[in-house]
Structure formats: structure tokens, C-alpha cells
Amino acid sequence: MKKALAGVLAVALVGVIAGSAMAQVPNVQVYFDQGHTQAQADCGTSGTTATLYVVMNNWNMNVTGVDFSISYPPSLVWLADVLPDPSTQVSIGASPGGIAIAYANCCFLDGFQNNIVLLPFVLWGPCDCNQGPQPLVVGGYTPLGKTSPTAVRKEDFAEFQGVGMTSLICAGVIATEPSTWGQVKALYR
């Protein structure tokens, strides 16, 4: 149990550290709110649906295409991908295995702002925070062998690689049995 607790802490710690370190790096991250401020959430009610918000952060260029994949935890069942503006955006694939999104000439993304690029529609399944944090990981467009998100610059169609971020369900760890910091530290010795 102690090992499990340590693992949980480590995952949460990595998520937090990665989150701050990657703040200015071009990245793609899943948020739980439309204002894209919440990259962590507690379990939702099983059987209810929710919308996630995939955001491109810090790309600082005009974007005419982006691709990535999302690894969903067992507690989130992917149902569908919704484009923010289907009238000017097209996509190929689906987020669990890899999705590519491209934009009309009129309506490319101003990557100097952080834009929502996809709205995955999900169903909450059985979810227990006592089981520890569950990562929601953004990866590359796997059918093309990519391991990280990439985006295409409008002016010259050059492709750039970013970082796939990890969001967490149940980031706040709840100890299930009494412990001390000393005992936790001992796990790493």
C-alpha cells in the first residue's frame, strides 16, 4: 500500500512539475473547463457525459493544421470529437488513435493566443479517487509515427513539434491509511 501511495504521489508530482516547466513551451493539453484553467478534476458521476477542452498553448504562430492523440483513462469513455467550428475546420481520424485538424484559409488559428482546437465528448465510467490519479495524456498522431503533437504554420506550411501534456483525474491524493512524511521518504531510499 505504501508503494502504491508513493506511486500516486510521484505521478501527481510529475504532473505538477511538468505543468510548470512546460508553461512556455508549445504544447497541447486537455482541460476540464471552457476557460481552460483546470487541468485536474475529480471523478464525475458515472453514467454522465462531459465535454473536454483540448487547447494549443504557446505556439506563437498562425496555425493552419494540428495533430495529436489523447490517451483516455478507463474512467473516461470517449464518445465523439467535436470541432469548435465545423464550418471552417475539417478533421481526419479520432482523438483516441490520432486526429488531424486543418483550417480554412479564412479562419486559421491565431496561435499567439491559446485556442481550443477540439471538444472531446466523453462519458464518465466507474471512477474512484481512492485508486489514485488517472492521467489524461496528449500524445502524437500515431498513424504517422509521431510521439508528440505537431502543428503547421500558415505562411509556409512548415511543421513544428510541441509537447503533449498530461492532465489528471483525482490529482488530490487521499491517504487511505495513516502515514508520515518520513515513511513516504523512506520509500525512496
Residues 26, 103, 133, 165: which binds other proteins (CB under 8 A)?
A: 103
Nearer to other proteins, 11 or 66 (CB): 66
Work out whether 123 is an interface residue with other proteins (CB under 8 A). Answer: no
Residues 29, 134, 150, 167: which binds other proteins (CB under 8 A)?
A: 150
Residues 94, 116, 129, 184: which binds other proteins (CB under 8 A)?
A: 94
Residues 62, 114, 115, 142: which binds other proteins (CB under 8 A)?
A: 142
N-term to C-term CA, the chain:
17
Burial 96-109 (b: 16+ CB within 10 A, else e): eebbbbebeeeebb
Nearer to other proteins, 109 or 169 (CB): 109
Residues 13, 21, 158, 186: which binds other proteins (CB under 8 A)?
A: 158
Q: What Cα–Cα distance (Å) separates residue 91 from each residue in 13, 64, 71, 81, 104?
A: 34, 12, 18, 9, 11
From the list 120, 26, 18, 70, the residue with the least C-alpha distance to 10 is 18
Mark 27-66 with x for binding to other proteins (rule: CB under 8 A) and - for no binding: -------------------------------------xxx
Work out whether 120 is an interface residue with other proteins (CB under 8 A). Answer: no
Element counts in the chain: helices (H) and strands (E): 2, 15
Torsion sign across C-alpha atoms 177, 178, 184, 187? negative
Nearer to other proteins, 43 or 63 (CB): 63
Torsion sign across C-alpha atoms 131, 132, 133, 136? negative
Instruction: Answer for the pair 75, 124: CB distance below 8 angstroms, yes or no.
Output: yes
Q: Which amino acid is at 48?
A: T
Please count the residues of this chain forming the interface with other proteins, following the rule CB under 8 A: 31
Residues of this chain that interact with other proteins (CB under 8 A) are 64-67, 87-90, 92-94, 96-98, 100, 102-107, 141-144, 150-152, 157-159
